[in-house]
Structure 1
Amino acid sequence: MALLQITSLPFSFAKLPLPRETKSSYLEKRSFNLHGGTQPKASFKVYNTNQTITRRSANFEPSTWSYDYIQSLSTEYKEEVYKNQVSVLKEKVRMMFCKVENELDQLEFIDLLQRLGVEYHYPNEIRNVLDNIYKTENSNNEEKNLYATSLKFRLLRQHGYDISSDIFIRFKDENGNLKKSEHADVEGLLSLYEASFHSFEDENILDELKDFASKFLKDYLNEGKGDYTSDLINHALDFPLHWRVPKFEARWFINVYQKKENMIPDLLQFAKLDFNISQANYREELKESSR
């Protein structure tokens, strides 16, 4: 009975009032006039001269974040019942993680936890898995799979392991281009593109491969398939994971992940609950600081 209640939990977010103006008028009021097309509202005089220098006005409106408005913010997710539910789901996900044995599956699970914003619950488990993977010098997946190699490189670099970019040499042909056999591996190209943003200075191989991957990914989007992979590609080409704010990324990815065919329901509900509870904590902190 408890699980049926969990799967129907809502995924809510604070709805803040928007400015009354339209977007165009809102931006117009805040844009700087570099050519003097409008009359300024403020001015000041320079000492020892009679010249009056005008100052542009930003026309900032009063903040909607008044004390009364902040204190009025409320949410149901600070109640104990939700904390108990998230504790149950947390242990379920931990058991899933511990049962994963294949190296690629472990990497994918860690990446999934990070993108859903719940990886901070499992620092020891993630560290142990990555330690074991890093100690494994050769892997069958690494030798012939662009996707597995790129994912492994990105996660190890992200967590501070010393892994060389030379592992990508095997995917280049004699002309220095990406091998044609890899052109059809869309997941591999996307993983390679994300991994390339973790390169160090003078790691030219990653810069070159990033250019190839970017071109192929744009061609895939032009086919207009509109599937789960297309959403990830479009998102990555806009900004790579390495440049994004984790909490905002989790908010976006939760909506995308729930559309995936083989998504894990318990993990999805855990991510939703964790996000809403975190948001409730932020609200309480904001209320306290405003006092």
Structure 2
Amino acid sequence: MFFWGKISVLNAPLNVQFSDQKLTERVHQLKEEVTGMFGACKSVMEKLNLIDTLQHLGMDHLFEEPIDTLIHLGIDHLFEEPIDTAMSSIHNTEFNSSSLHEVALRFRLLRQYGFWVSADEFNKFKNEDGSFFSDIANDPKDLLSLYHAANLLTHNEQPLEEALLFAKHRLEVIRCNLKSPLAEQVERALKVPHPRNIKREEAIHYILEYAQDETYNATIHKLAKLEFNHLQRVHQKELKAMSLWWKDLSEDVKLDYARDRVVECYFWSYSCLYEEEYARSRIVLAKLLMLTSLLDDTFDEYATLEECRVLTKALERWDESDVSLLPEYLKKFFLRVIENFRDFDELLEPHEKWRNAYIRSVYQGICKSYLQEAEWSHRGYIPSFHDQVNLSVMSAGGELVAIGLLFGLGDIATKEVFEWAIQNSLTVTACGEVSRFMDDLADFKRGRNKMDVATSVECYMKENNVTSEVALAKVDSLVDHAWKTLNQELFDHRDILSMVNQITNFGRSMMFLYHDKRDGYTNSEQVKDALESHYVKPILI
């Protein structure tokens, strides 16, 4: 039996409100009805509200399925990328509105779907001195829409910086006077703004709140509930299979010092791509992260420096005969790593076999970064801030996650895309930065273990001779800097927008786990209730 906090994974009851067949049939029927709503939209705002609703409910993926999946379902004629078509039309259509909510909604959705729109759109709501009109300051709906839109700012967009600060400040002032569900929406946004939150988490809340929305549609609401429960059933089955895999592995390798983090690793994978058709990617990535977690714990908690060096060399050579060079307690671990990578290879089609070299390479690479951190730690060495960040962003796992999820995708994951991901892609690097800096902020607050390498916060304090408050503020600003880069990547790589978003979802999962400098990975009790909503509790129909 395995747990996230006190959540039993193996013994979690499978939600059974409907049979699999009946649930699938009803979901497909409702998808057809919702698809028809795009053609029925008579104005830009009707399209924007429909797309925004689907996005909040986590259902926009239903209308961007791979064509081979749709053909298999026999309903390919119903789906011709209606959202992308609608957004292209909206982008090319002149739009005039005196409503800040409407302008901000259009701005946010266009940017999220990779269409550039200028921040000048908000000038009409400003006075000559650049301040926003006074009547906006007390309108929570306008402020919330502006806040979400401004969080899609890129580098050197000072007007959006100012809009973000203004909206955040005003929301903090008025939030105590708000009524449900707006009060809860503002509270969530101030913790993690919508563009930085994982889609599945927002959907759980919004499904429950949607009945009070002015754009409420019963068909959409029913579809959202059914589709959520259908996918929860899929994820429950995968989690149980993952737990059994981990039980077999852990009992065999017997690394008693290692953390049981199988659910956490599945959560990271699930956050990147939760849709049903991505099961292969999701499972491979979750197992890869678990094998990496074992490696991390070995370097951090148990192995001597010489044992770390020997293990790194053996993994670099990738030769089973090197097992004789390893200490007894690491022999089975080494062999099981190679065995699991063989299993990954067997999941690939003949024309995909080249991918195994990439996934093996990133695993070997992260091992080398762990070794360098171990060298520093054992010497008591505090590196320069630049050197620490360069290394720790690699060890934070952005590249590993990117290649791990690409490994199991279909033909869209070409060699060119793998090369883009592994050769200093800004998307991958920025995700690694979000991961590293959020982790370091939490580590500094919690206090690191004796053998942990110095965090970026400590390195910045030592190098610049500043207080912890100054260093924390600096590292916090670097999180925002990385998000600006990720926002820019939406426009620069719109041709692979789905993959940019899937990789960026790793950064979003870090925001969920580590906001307010908490560590929801190490102290999983802090996210127990949230994860029960994801994996255990179905939504009542």
How far apart, in 2, do the equivalents of 1:159 and 1:248 lie?
20
2:90 to 129, 133, 140: 133
Superposed counterparts of 1:53-72, under 5 Å: 65=9, 69=10
Map of 1:115 onto structure 2: 56
8 Å contact 2:150–2:161 — kept in the other structure?
yes
8 Å contact 1:78–1:280 — kept in the other structure?
no
1:99 to 40, 47, 58: 40
Query: How far off is 1:207 after superposition?
Result: 0.9
8 Å contact 2:49–2:215 — kept in the other structure?
no
8 Å contact 1:196–1:209 — kept in the other structure?
yes
* SS of residue matched to 2:101: helix
Over residues 36-73 of structure 1, what are the superposed CA-to-partner deviations in whole Å (9 max), with x where a residue is unaligned?
xxxxxxxxxxxxxxxxxxxxxxxxxxx955xxx36x75
Aligned-residue sequence identity (percent) comes to 28
1:247 to 160, 184, 200: 200
How far apart, in 2, do the equivalents of 1:155 and 1:199 lie?
13
Over residues 131-175 of structure 1, what are the superposed CA-to-partner deviations in whole Å (9 max), with x where a residue is unaligned?
011112x3222xx22111111111111111121112222222122
Aligned Cα root-mean-square deviation (Å): 2.3
Map of 1:74 onto structure 2: 14
Unaligned runs of at least 5 residues, structure 2 = 65-80, 246-541
Over residues 61-92 of structure 1, what are the superposed CA-to-partner deviations in whole Å (9 max), with x where a residue is unaligned?
xx955xxx36x753325520111111111111
Does residue 151 (structure 1) correspond to residue 92 (structure 2)? The answer is no
How far apart, in 1, do the equivalents of 2:24 and 2:8 lie?
31
1:87 counterpart letter in structure 2: H
How far apart, in 2, do the equivalents of 1:162 and 1:129 lie?
15
8 Å contact 1:194–1:242 — kept in the other structure?
yes
Over residues 173-209 of structure 1, what are the superposed CA-to-partner deviations in whole Å (9 max), with x where a residue is unaligned?
1222112243354322211100111000110101111
8 Å contact 1:78–1:281 — kept in the other structure?
no
Does residue 286 (structure 1) correspond to residue 239 (structure 2)? The answer is yes
8 Å contact 1:78–1:277 — kept in the other structure?
no
* SS of residue matched to 2:14: coil
Over residues 202-242 of structure 1, what are the superposed CA-to-partner deviations in whole Å (9 max), with x where a residue is unaligned?
101011111221222233323x2423322322221221001
Q: TM-score, structure 1 length as denominator?
A: 0.70
Higher helix share: 2
Report the count of equivalent residues.
225
Instruction: Mark the structure with the bigger radius of gyration.
Output: 1
Map of 1:32 onto structure 2: none
Q: TM-score, structure 2 length as denominator?
A: 0.39
How far apart, in 2, do the equivalents of 1:261 and 1:110 lie?
15
**Higher mean C-alpha deviation, range 256-265 or range 96-105:** 256-265
Does residue 179 (structure 1) correspond to residue 133 (structure 2)? The answer is yes
Map of 2:154 onto structure 1: 200
Unaligned runs of at least 5 residues, structure 1 = 1-15, 20-62
Query: How far off is 1:118 after superposition?
Result: 0.8
How far apart, in 2, do the equivalents of 1:80 and 1:87 lie?
11
Structure 1 residues 129 and 64, CA gap change in structure 2 (3 angstroms): closer
